[in-house]
Chains A and B, each alone.
Chain A
Amino acid sequence: MARVAVVQIPGVNCEYETARALEVVGLTARIVRWNEPASVWSEFDAYVIPGGFAFQDRIRAGAVAAKLPAVDRIAAEAERGKPVLGICNGAQVLVEAGLVPGLHPGRVEMALAPNRAPRREGYLCRWSWLGVTPGPGSSWYARNVRPGQVIPMPIAHGEGRFLTADPEVQERIEIENLVLYRFVAPSGGRAVRYPFDPNGATLQAAGITNRAGNILAFMPHPERATWLRQVPLELKNAWGESRRAAVGNWEALEGPGPGRILFQSLASNLLSPSAEGARPGREARS
């Protein structure tokens, strides 16, 4: 059994569906409030900071939550090799806490800035297309993704633009393949324009990991694409075809959607670690 903490910071609003998505891949999820006793945090094998508006995005998205003692404790567990996934607002928290990209661990090396697209400011909710570039995060978060595979998932954010003002950081995340997920065109090619590039992020980044690959700051919402029923019928892709073919078939609709691959990847590592060999921190836990 692997236990995952879904961190409920005030203002977070995706904790229930995120917990359900973790449960459906065989993990045991518990929603843990930000102010629960310090001792609870070490009990878990993995941590997910879900989407929402932690502390109302006061000061900046993720800025206040990044300073919470709970995030300190999760950072310490990540140091021991446990996986930490930040989805949307959770990604903003991880970047503001200096955990991603973490070239110099603890140092803040990026921002998640307001979306930038021609004549389209503000919050944007729509399905987008993702591609994977293998990197240190592959085994935790993109196992079983085929080369060239295009994965549709919805985004819903106003501040999703990964950005660094430090040219060295820019270079390292590129060379070291820390941009695990990026926005692509439906064909899988580079996303050169809105809406395929929805927010103007550097390197079209949708998800960036740390060097160890166990921490992922991910802007799209895999928990909103974990069941086939969540996929729009008219998505122009094999997923849309599967969705249309499943009209009238509830069992098929309750089957996997495109985003489940990310949770499955996490689960297969947590549930059968032998397949991946020893993970750092595993000994410390047992």
Chain B
Amino acid sequence: MSAVLLVGLKITDLSAWTALETGRRLLEPGHTLSRIAREQLLLFEPEPGGKAETFERTLGEAVRQSNFFVNPNKERYRFLTSSERGESWSPPDSAWGILSRVREDTRDDGLKARLLREHPMPGLGAIRRAKVWWLWSRGPDGTPAAPYFRETLGELRDQRHGLLVNPHAETAMLLHGATPWSRVDRFLIQPAPALRAAA
């Protein structure tokens, strides 16, 4: 089991604000978007055969006290130890999410090397990166209409379709309802699937 750090801005997130403004212009009548939020996700894996408990306490201190992960002037964070994160990941109230990662290896070895230089923590394996966009949406039928919004605001296809993810560099998964962390972990660890040829 891995530990997770989610970092978002407490000042205005201009990317999310612009995504909202730009995204609204792409919607067909009857569909509304009330909010978009963005978080960076860092996954801290234990070394193979190890447990996150061996490094989580030190890691938690580094998150709180250093500049590696969080600038308290402008960011807020949620640090979830392997036990705190539970079995599954639920979106914020009435939102759903698009989780995206680069198509290449998601490991950030440079960050790990720098972190260990200052905060030795035996047992820490890979640090992986991803990004999550939370959307608060409503279709004509009153439901969040996630499939429609993902089609319109998710993977970029052309000037009218897609915005948040460029599928040539990134790959994405839907976070709708409670998503087992095991699926999220696999999504981050396994090689990105081949790009589905556009219809």
Contact = CB atoms under 8 A, between A and B. Distances in A.
A and B touch in the complex (CB under 8 A): yes
A58 B19 contact: yes
Interface stretch (B67-75, B78-86, B136-144, B163-171): B163-171
A108 B156 contact: yes
Interface in B15-52: 15, 18-19, 22, 25-26
B156 A96 contact: yes
Contacts of A55: 18
A59 B159 contact: no
A63 B163 contact: yes
A111 B25 contact: no
A17 B15 CA distance: 28
Nearest to A66: B159
A203 to B, nearest CB: 14
A166 B15 contact: no
Contacts of A189: none
Interface stretch (B57-65, B116-124, B172-180, B190-198): B190-198
Interface of B: 14-15, 18-19, 22, 25-26, 102-104, 110, 156-159, 162-164, 166-170, 192, 194-195, 197-198
Given A163-B169, A168-B197, A98 B159 contact: yes
A64 B156 CA distance: 12
A42 interface: no
A72 interface: yes
Given A67-B163, A107-B198, A113 B158 contact: no
Please provide the 7 A-B residue pairs with the shortest distance between their CB atoms, ordered closest to farther: A111-B169, A111-B168, A165-B195, A113-B169, A58-B15, A111-B166, A58-B18
Interface of A: 55-56, 58-60, 63-64, 66-67, 71-72, 75, 96-98, 104, 106-111, 113, 116, 121, 163-166, 168
Given A106-B159, A164-B168, A56 B195 contact: no
A9 to B, nearest CB: 13
A98 B159 CA distance: 7
Contacts of A163: 168-169
Given A59-B18, A109-B168, A111-B168, A165 B163 contact: no
Given A58-B15, A67-B22, A67-B25, A166 B169 contact: no
- Among A60, A97, A111, A165, find the residue whose CB has the most chain B CB atoms closer than 10 A: A165
Contact of B158 (A59, A63, A107, A164): A107
Nearest to A71: B159
